[in-house]
Amino acid sequence: MLVLGTLVIGLSGFNVLLSIQLVALNANFYMSSWSDLGIAKTVAISERDLATIGKHLLAYFTGSVSSPQVEVEIDGTVMPIFKEHEIQHLEDVRGLFRLGISAKHACEALIVIGVFIAALQKEPITKNLQKALRLSCATLCVFVILIAAGAVFDFSKWWTTFHLAVFSNDLWLLDPQSDRLIQIFPEQFFYKAVTRIFVISLALTGLYLILSFLVGHIPTYHSKRDA
């Protein structure tokens, strides 16, 4: 039970957190989404400056730079892109990124620990791995479908609930008319991001299922080879 619990938590958490990071820390996703949404025209900045903002924010979220602030040319004038309250909100966002990265490392450690413990059990390690992978698939499918249902039904409400749950202040309540952070990252951007995260998570879940079948055939292969 300890082996299964450790592996399922590790595998499920790793799946979700990796899916989030593959989108949230992907500069190409930012640029393609901004291009589709016409963000450069909306904010009145060049595609090049928009790319600079995206790369700088990703560097900030991952700890490579100390401030999210960056100067770009807006309507012919070079100026800082964010106001103070936007910077404060981005500090909170960076905290979430750091927490997510640490949590993913913890899940990786749980997987390693689970495999190590499974190797010490009398029961074949492949049997425990197969059970863990399949149970993780079931857990992830239920989790993703339930979460996705809320997002598909009413994304605005779902997105608001998310912010209320993860932030302890109201700095995320930005003005689309004056705050460039929300102009650069409108709700449509996050709808695309969340949708892609769900798709990636389900794809990884499918990979888990395939791996469970492959792992299940390892003992059979050895028994035939040794016969």
Contact 11, 104 (CB under 8 A): no
How does pLDDT run along the chain (227 residues), one tens digit per residue?
Answer: 788 899 999 999 999 999 999 999 999 999 999 999 999 998 889 999 999 999 999 999 999 999 999 999 887 889 999 999 999 999 999 999 999 999 999 999 999 999 998 888 877 888 889 999 999 999 999 998 899 898 989 999 999 999 999 999 999 999 999 999 999 999 999 999 999 999 999 999 999 999 999 987 776 444 444 44
Q: Which two tokens stand for residue 89?
A: 């909100």
Q: Which two tokens stand for residue 225?
A: 């080879």
Q: What is residue 216's predicted lDDT score, i.e. its pLDDT?
A: 72
Element (H, E) at 222: helix 218-226
Q: How far is CA 71 from CA 64, 82, 92, 179, in A?
A: 17, 9, 21, 15
Complete DSSP assignment for 47-106: HHHHHHHHHHHHHHHTTSSS----EEEETTEEEES--HHHHHHHHHHHHHHHHHHHHHHH
Identify each DSSP E strand in 127-174 by its residue range. Answer: none
Q: Which two tokens stand for residue 63?
A: 């700890």
Q: What is residue 219's predicted lDDT score, i.e. its pLDDT?
A: 60
Q: How far is CA 98 from CA 101, 103, 105, 148, in A?
A: 5, 8, 11, 24
Q: What is residue 121's predicted lDDT score, i.e. its pLDDT?
A: 80
